[in-house]
Amino acid sequence: MAWDLVVVANRLPVDRVQLPDGTAGWRRSPGGLVSAIEPVMRAHDGCWVGWPGGTDQDLEPFEDDGMTLVPMTMTRDDIEGHYEGFSNGTLWPLYHDLVAKPEFHREWWDSYTQVNQRFAEKAAELAEENATVWIHDYQLQLVPRMLRELRPDLRIGFYLHIPFPPAELFQQLPWRRQLLEGLLGADLVGFQLPGAAQNFIRLVRQRVGHKTHRDLVYLPDGRTVRAAAFPISIDAAGFEALATSPAVAERAQEIRDALGSPRKVFLGIDRLDYTKGIYARLRAFSELIKDGHLDVEDAVFVQIAVPSREQVEQYRILRDEIDRLVGRINGDLGRIGRPAISYLHSSYPREEMAALYRMADIMVVTPYRDGMNLVAKEYVACRFEDDGALVLSEFAGAADELRQAWLVNPYDINGMKAALLEAYQAEDKELTRRMKAMRKTIKQHDVVAWAQGFMSELSDVRNPHSKPVRPARRS
Ligand code: G6P
């Protein structure tokens, strides 16, 4: 069967896992990418190509929750070289401002190239004539060019969900030119923020030598490629509806009671990733207790860390560091039945997330660098009573839109302490003023608007072979 829209992402929205009874089952995949593309898929009649987790699993295409999913097989070598290696050991730290040290290995690059080629071939096989293919994220940056070589009739979009670094960092990559040329296979290359699109255009000019003007790149074959910002968002109405439901209200109350009904609850929800600044934020909170500004009878910090990339060494080290820190803080500062930090290493369904957002007074999102951070937006969407405080890193893409949050520099522990305390002590009137403004922004720029914005720009690209695409339907 051939499709009018093919979405290509490293991951499928569901992950193949082994259940406690030993049988295989499916679990929702972690991360912002999946949350953003899911509603797009529901609004279109297309298929989604991606990795279902695990190794060496030959699975047939299947339907899940109204979506057609096409699983790609990955071998242990693919996982080591393409996924854990080049994607998450080289590109991820490099694109996040070197928060960790990237490693450069030629065999990782070879594996990345091979896997990208397989994804391109699969997309070429599934797309009908003149179809639109939308490729996602840093794991697949070579696919646009590979796919164009196989299928010049296609309209190809690419969207990067993570930051795109300044030239000074990007040019460390031994394969910088190939990656830029890979992306230039697309008609439209989308980024989270305008600065990232500018970094890309500048690099294309300097490193590949193409002519550029503003957001356009002129290729020798007559094609033009556009690079622009499309800040990603969430299903704001869906989250609000969940948060207002009686079941979620009841669950929120249950969680608060279980915490011992403290006066205020701080909340952090992140994939357990070194870019997220979890360690620094927990230290800042614990120092506020140590200094006597907060008391464990009044305040508790709930930190949810969603397991992520557990085979990658830097992630294992981080997990141990956080385990130790939480143990030390609770040992030093907690009382019987009153830990300072309630720490959970687990992932939760949307309903439980909505209950957590609903019960938390202060949401703390402090990454060192983050493409957007959808958790910050989800919290705002769930605060239907215009209350609650958001403490947000300046280095999250979301800070560009959520200006009324308490903005912090996560490298500045004293600054973070001051912001946490201010948010804790803020008057209701102040909270409402800030939250109202942020909610307005989120409602206007939801994920449907994001997808429509990208798709309509993509359909406007006038290139020799491509025909217009159908506009997205509102679900
Ligand atoms: C981020 C990336 C996604 C990725 C997700 C989860 O949101 O932008 O591409 O899927 O993290 O990470 P994982 O390595 O588990 O796919």
Whether the predicted pLDDT of 232 surpasses 60: yes
Q: Is the CB of 31 under 6 A from ligand 1?
A: yes
The number of angstroms, rounded, from the C-alpha of 268 to the middle of its chain's C-alpha atoms is 15
Cβ-contact 340, 330 below 8 angstroms: yes
161 lines ligand 1 (CB under 6 A): yes
pLDDT at 57: 86
Query: Is the model's pLDDT at 280 over the cut of 50?
Result: yes
Retrieve residue 414's tokens.
């004293």
* Amino acid in the structure at residue 464: P
Q: What is the distance between the alpha carbons of residues 408 and 59, in angstroms, rounded to a whole number?
A: 45
The pLDDT of residue 464: 59
pLDDT band at 472 (very low <50, low <70, confident <90, very high): very low
State whether the beta carbon of 140 lies less than 6 angstroms from ligand 1: no
User: Bridge-partner residues for 266, per DSSP?
Assistant: 301, 362
4 is catalytic: no
Residues 469 and 458: their CA atoms lie apart, in Å, by 8
Q: What is the pLDDT of residues 148-191, one digit of tens each?
A: 999 999 999 999 999 999 999 999 999 999 999 999 999 999 99
Catalytic residue among 96, 136, 161, 210: 161
User: Is 386 considered catalytic here?
Assistant: no
- Kindly report whether the global pTM for this prediction surpasses the value 0.85: yes
Q: How far is CA 80 from CA 55, 56, 105, 329, in A?
A: 10, 13, 12, 35
Bridge partners for 342 per DSSP: 302
**Is the predicted pLDDT of residue 7 greater than 90, yes or no?**
yes
Residue 102: pLDDT over 50: yes
User: Residues 297-320: pLDDT tens digits?
Assistant: 999 999 999 999 999 999 999 999
pLDDT interval class at 42 (50, 70, 90) = confident
Candidate of 27, 74, 90, 161 to mutate for ligand 1, largest count of ligand atoms within 8 Å of Cβ: 161
Residue with tokens 């464990």, as numbered in its chain: 296
Nearest residue (by CA) to ligand 1, atom 16, is: 11
- Ligand 1 centroid to Cα of residue 373, in Å, is 12
Mode of pairing for the β-strands spanning 216-218 and 224-229:
antiparallel
Percent of the chain past pLDDT 90, that is, above it, reads 88
Query: What is the spatial distance between Cα 257 and Cα 121, in angstroms, rounded to a whole number?
Result: 53
**299: closest CA among 464, 439, 424, 124?**
424
How far, in Å, CA of 233 to CA of 280, rounded?
26
Could you read off the pLDDT of 210-224 as tens digits, one per residue? Answer: 999 999 999 999 999
Q: Is the pLDDT of residue 295 over 50?
A: yes
Kindly report which listed range (217-231, 328-342, 461-475) carries the lowest average pLDDT score: 461-475
Residue 33 pLDDT grade (very low, low, confident, very high; cuts 50, 70, 90)? confident
The rounded distance, in Å, linking the Cα atoms of 439 and 115 is 41
> What was the pLDDT predicted at 45?
81
pLDDT at 471 over 60: no
Which residue has the least CA distance to atom 8 on ligand 1? 161
- Mean pLDDT score across all residues of the chain: 95
Please provide the DSSP assignment of 353-398 as one string: HHHHHHH-SEEEE--SSBS--HHHHHHHHH-TTS--EEEEETTBGG
HEC secondary structure over 311-333 = CCHHHHHHHHHHHHHHHHHHHHH
For the stretch 45-56, pLDDT in tens is 899 999 999 998
User: Has residue 475 got a pLDDT over 80?
Assistant: no
Residue 467, pLDDT > 60, answer: no
Q: What is the mean pLDDT of residues 259-273?
A: 98
What confidence tier does 466 reach under pLDDT thresholds 50, 70, 90?
low
| CATH superfamily for domain 236-444 | Glycogen Phosphorylase B; (3.40.50.2000)
pLDDT at 34: 84
CATH number of 3-232+450-461: 3.40.50.2000
Give the mutation target among 29, 83, 90, 160 for probing the ligand 1 site: most ligand atoms within 8 A of CB: 29
Q: How far is the CA of 471 from the centre of ligand 1 (A)?
A: 27
Which residues are paired to 5 by β-bridges?
Answer: 132
Q: Give the separation between CA 386 and CA 463, rounded to whole angstroms.
A: 46
CA distances from 246 to 268, 356, 449 (A): 24, 14, 28
- Which tokens belong to 193? 């923020």
Flag whether pLDDT at 93 surpasses 90.
yes
The enclosing H or E element of 236 equals helix 236-244
Listed by start position, the domains of the chain span 3-232+450-461, 236-444
Q: Which two tokens stand for residue 58?
A: 């030959």
pLDDT above 90 (res 1): no
The angle that helices 428-444 and 374-382 make with each other, rounded to 10 degrees, is: 110
Tell me whether the CATH fold assigned to 3-232+450-461 matches the one assigned to 236-444: yes
pLDDT tens readout for residues 408-434: 999 999 999 999 999 999 999 999 999
